[in-house]
A and B are shown apart, each in its own frame.
Chain A
Amino acid sequence: MTPDTKEEIRDAFRRGIAVAIAASPFAVLFGAVSIDNGLTVAEATLMSATLYAGASQLVGVELFNHHVAPWLVVLSIFAVNFRHVLYSAAIAPHIRHLTFWQKATSLFLLTDPQFAETERRADAGIRVSYIWLMVLGFSVYVPWLCLTVVGGLLGNLIGDPRAIGIDVLLPVYFMGLVLGFRKRANWLPVVLASGVGSVLAMHFVGSPWHVSLGALAGVAVAALLPLDKESAAPVGDVAEGEA
């Protein structure tokens, strides 16, 4: 192992652990909410292991409890995870040099922080290596699984989620994610359209259609509003930046 490789592993591990600590309440929360919504600890852990996408896991598990049609649960998971399409498109120039299997495996670990760290490393002019991606990913993945189990075991002990206030954590968490996107073009009109659309759909159509109908309202507003010049830049240039 060269000193460079050692340094890469150390850097990836250090960053990964920081992400894992920040994400730990959500892993525990997911485990606890899963049990509250009728999943077993094994099912919750399997979901963490195979989806490995916090927000969508929480959305999926929330819908399990509403006796929603299975295809709609899957569609909701897909909708919440759709942002990864943009992530993998954006990091394409940084991972082009990897082999097919290296890309196939490292992209499985693509999460919001994995994306952010990859972009930051590439911005700093450092080549993004396979070992760096995998160490970063797994130092988040392994704690995520372990803490899902912990949350699931705790969830079995929790009686009424309202009494200990965990029922508001999810809406607050999602609101935090929404606020995190507030620098984006047309954020306010999109959020207003989705918010009003979902409340109206909840009232007139019912759950869970408020999710798709409200989201549709927001996306339609974004597509119809005047475009700003920057977002119209050709994407191909970005992808070819580092051949």
Chain B
Amino acid sequence: MENMFHMQTLLIIAAGAVATYLTRVGGYVFITRMKRIPPRAEAALNAVPAAVLTTLVAPAAVTGGWDVSITMAVAFLVGLRLALLPMLAVGWVVVMLLRHVIG
């Protein structure tokens, strides 16, 4: 048991689970109590997913090395046309080619 779980990790997971559940019930609780959200607050909320997720992409694409940058550029073009899974597959194939065939 001691090797399966670490105390700090368990606490982070528990807190993360509570935080996640709050986001799942929060909107319902909020909206059923209020009539109107300020438009600017709504615009800001609306931008949250793209804003957060972009920060996980841009630094990797810029500082991850030329193979990662090329892969991300190709995956970007593919992603404009295709769904998430084909995009992942293409990205994986490109990086493997760059590293093992060309690089």
Contact = CB atoms under 8 A, between A and B. Distances in A.
Interface of A: 22, 25, 39-43, 46-47, 50-53, 55-56, 59-60, 62, 64, 70, 73-74, 77-92, 95-96, 103-104, 107-108, 110, 162-181, 184-187, 190-191, 193-199, 202, 207, 210-211, 213-223, 225, 227, 231-232, 234-236, 239
- Chain A contact residues, majority secondary structure: helix
Interface residues of B, number: 74
Given A165-B99, A222-B44, A171 B28 contact: no
B11 to A, nearest CB: 7
A194 B14 contact: no
A51 B8 CA distance: 16
Nearest to B32: A92
Contacts of B101: none
Contacts of A225: 43
A227 B36 contact: no
B34 A236 contact: yes
B52 A80 contact: yes
Specify which of B15, B43, B83 lies most central, judged by the most chain A CB atoms within 10 Å of its CB. Answer: B43
B9 A175 contact: no
Interface of B: 3-6, 8-17, 19-28, 30-32, 34-37, 39-64, 68, 71-72, 75-76, 79-80, 83-85, 87-88, 91-92, 95-96, 99
B41 to A, nearest CB: 7
B76 A175 contact: yes
Contact of B51 (A107, A190, A236): A190
A219 B47 contact: yes
Given A88-B23, A168-B72, A213-B55, 6 more contacts: A56-B16, A62-B56, A92-B32, A103-B25, A169-B88, A175-B79
A232 B61 CA distance: 35
Nearest to B93: A165
A73 B77 CA distance: 31
The 10 A-B pairs at the shortest CB distance, nearest first, are namely A218-B51, A222-B47, A89-B27, A88-B27, A214-B55, A50-B17, A236-B35, A198-B55, A195-B58, A194-B54
A4 B25 CA distance: 28
